[in-house]
């Protein structure tokens, strides 16, 4: 067990990156104060639905449309990402155990996970279209590379109503976080490879048992994270001409054709206003007889503000996302191990301190959710005359916290990306890390103190993300308040104030985490 004195000796040699500068913290705080002041007197902005199909862009529109409607383009990307994924597996299983020298850990936890969040904002749910987990499962079970596959290897059962939700995706998210932080998966190439194979097996089993792609729709925590974050994206698959979809009777986008699979997540693209469950698989763009589906540009965040109405289980997922993204930052604080050591002494834990870590994670998970539930209960009490259910209010306001999770998630991970990915070229040239030695303390220092972009730019991006998240959280809150149509001004003020305090509290806590020096993983 680690005592406080031994902890101090241990942390003296730790490599830590500096926190957000005071100047940028001041900018963020002033911005938050201005937005809070505006929210107390402001009203939600009227929604004007509008999007511009990429097909209509001059010069490049038709070329982009050809790429979207031809299966070979998507197939080439799938081959490429499957090849990289298999290289990650081989590197993890047979390469060096030195995390910073092995492709499995550096690519998965430093490049892919951060890059995925960035790509989701700019490309929506495009990653799901090339996800190696699903691609390999589909090829193995359906026995086709891109055409409509065979059902001989699948029972093709309808997903039971009891699990036709995302509770299992929430459980998977918690379990992955527990394994990642409790067992150090991020610094173990072998464990990273095994985890990746386990997820492929789960995707295969899902396709063997259930129809379409139940794993993507209901069970995959990464897919659900992408789906919710994609609601903030300015890019989405939409009809080129809404009137064509309105008059369509055959619904090939939903049912598929002789050659093309039906929509894997049961969407009718002409009626869909959300990215949340779209996997960008290309089925609708390729099966539509009118070629009326394409990528479209819309106002950033409009979907999250005006369209997404999470259910009870989906709001729980969003709040778990908020809590666990913050928890990642907490575990990188220099004092984290001292806290866990002291907590272990209090509860009599020993050895790997697994019980101490698990209870600490549980507390970090339940505190923000408990505070949110308390505010919702207060709102229900104040609106007792409207007889609103607790679950309905919980679902209504849960969406306001999604931008906070996205902003901190990306701001925190940018540090990993710009500091830990230096030297990634050498890792790609030697993915198994053959004949390599651990980085020296001097090499680690140079890597973390000389990020890929200047520290000033990094801090500006982090501060900008925190302001972005807070701004969109307040806009979603105002829209949800407007939908309640509260006539009593005092009640309206109390409810708005309670939610503002909670949103501000989460933002300030995440901002405080960004200020702190953090212990680097590699």
Q: Band the pLDDT of 266: cuts 50, 70, 90.
A: very high
Paired strand residues for 298 = 51
3-class DSSP assignment, residue 411: helix
Sign of the four-CA dihedral 201, 135, 189, 414: negative
Sign of the four-CA dihedral 298, 278, 507, 108: negative
Q: Are the CB atoms for 460 and 24 separated by under 8 Å?
A: yes
Percentage with pLDDT > 70 across the chain: 96
Q: Report d(CA 238, CA 291) in Å as an integer.
A: 11
Element (DSSP H or E) covering residue 235? strand 235-239
Write the pLDDT tens digit of every residue in 175-188. Answer: 999 999 988 888 99
pLDDT tops 50 at residue 2: no
pLDDT at 470: 98
CA 60 to chain CA mean position, Å: 30
At residue 297, φ and ψ (nearest 5 deg) are -100, 130
DSSP state of 407: H
Q: Report d(CA 19, CA 516) in Å as an integer.
A: 5
pLDDT at 338: 85
Q: Long-range contact list for 436-441, CB < 8 A, 24+ apart?
A: 436/96, 436/98, 436/101, 437/98, 437/101, 438/98, 438/100, 438/101, 439/100, 439/101, 439/522, 441/13, 441/15
Across 268-272, 318-322, 387-391, 440-444, which has the greatest mean pLDDT? 318-322
Per the structure block, which two tokens stand in for 223?
Answer: 């897919």
Per the structure block, which two tokens stand in for 394?
Answer: 């919980």
Mean pLDDT of the 217-237 span: 95
Task: Report CA-CA distances (Å) from 439 to 2, 442, 522.
Answer: 25, 8, 9
Per the structure block, which two tokens stand in for 147?
Answer: 């055409």
Report the number of secondary-structure helices (H) and strands (E) in the chain. Answer: 25, 5
Q: Are the CB atoms for 457 and 463 separated by under 8 Å?
A: no
Half-sphere exposure (Cβ direction) of 339: Cα atoms closer than 13 Å: 12
The mean-pLDDT minimum among 77-91, 320-334, 345-359 falls in: 345-359
Write the pLDDT tens digit of every residue in 77-134. Answer: 999 999 999 999 999 999 999 999 999 999 999 899 989 999 999 999 999 999 999 9
What is the residue whose two structure tokens read 């709001």? 315
């Amino acid at each position: 067990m680690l005592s406080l004195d031994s902890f101090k000796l241990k942390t003296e040699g730790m490599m830590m990156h500096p926190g957000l500068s005071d100047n940028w913290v001041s900018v963020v705080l002033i911005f938050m104060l201005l937005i809070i002041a505006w929210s107390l007197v402001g009203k939600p902005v009227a929604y004007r639905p509008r999007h511009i199909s990429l097909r209509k862009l001059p010069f490049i529109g038709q070329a982009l449309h050809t790429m979207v409607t031809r299966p070979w383009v998507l197939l080439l990307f799938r081959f490429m990402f499957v090849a990289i994924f298999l290289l990650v597996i081989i590197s993890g299983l047979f390469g060096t155990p030195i995390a910073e020298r092995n492709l499995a850990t550096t690519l998965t936890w430093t490049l892919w996970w951060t890059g995925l969040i960035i790509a989701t904002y700019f490309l929506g749910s495009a990653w799901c279209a090339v996800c190696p987990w699903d691609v390999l499962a589909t090829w193995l079970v359906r026995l086709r590379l891109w055409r409509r596959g065979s059902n001989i290897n699948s029972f093709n059962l309808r997903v039971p109503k009891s699990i036709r939700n995302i509770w299992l995706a929430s459980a998977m998210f918690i379990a992955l976080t527990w394994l990642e932080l409790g067992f150090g998966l991020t610094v173990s190439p072998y464990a990273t490879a095994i985890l990746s194979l386990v997820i492929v097996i789960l995707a295969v089993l899902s396709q063997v048992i259930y129809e379409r792609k139940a794993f993507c729709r209901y069970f995959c925590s990464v897919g659900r994270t992408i789906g919710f974050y994609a609601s903030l994206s300015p890019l989405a698959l939409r009809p080129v001409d809404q009137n064509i979809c309105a008059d369509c009777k055959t619904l090939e986008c939903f049912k598929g054709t002789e050659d093309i699979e039906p929509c894997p997540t049961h969407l009718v693209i002409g009626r869909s206003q959300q990215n949340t469950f779209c996997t960008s698989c290309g089925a609708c763009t390729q099966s539509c007889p009118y070629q009326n589906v394409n990528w479209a540009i819309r106002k950033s965040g409009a979907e999250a503000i005006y369209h997404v109405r999470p259910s009870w289980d989906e709001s729980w997922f969003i709040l778990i996302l908020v809590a666990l993204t913050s928890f990642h930052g907490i575990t990188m604080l220099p004092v984290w191990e001292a806290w866990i050591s002291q907590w272990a002494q209090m509860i009599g834990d020993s050895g790997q301190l697994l019980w101490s870590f698990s209870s600490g994670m549980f507390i970090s998970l339940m505190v923000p959710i408990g505070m949110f539930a308390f505010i919702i209960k207060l709102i229900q009490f104040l609106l007792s005359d409207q007889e609103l259910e607790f679950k309905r209010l919980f679902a209504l306001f849960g969406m306001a916290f999604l931008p906070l999770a996205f902003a901190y998630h990306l701001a925190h991970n940018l540090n990993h990306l710009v500091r830990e990915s230096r030297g990634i070229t050498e890792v790609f040239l030697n993915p198994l890390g053959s004949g390599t030695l651990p980085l020296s303390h001097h090499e680690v220092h140079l890597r973390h103190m000389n990020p890929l972009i200047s520290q000033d730019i990094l801090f500006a991006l982090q501060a900008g993300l925190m302001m972005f998240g807070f701004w969109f959280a307040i806009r979603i809150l105002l829209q949800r308040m407007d939908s309640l149509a509260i006539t009593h001004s005092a009640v309206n003020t109390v409810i708005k104030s309670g939610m503002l305090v909670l949103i501000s509290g989460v933002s300030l806590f995440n901002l405080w985490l960004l200020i702190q020096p953090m212990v680097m993983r590699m």
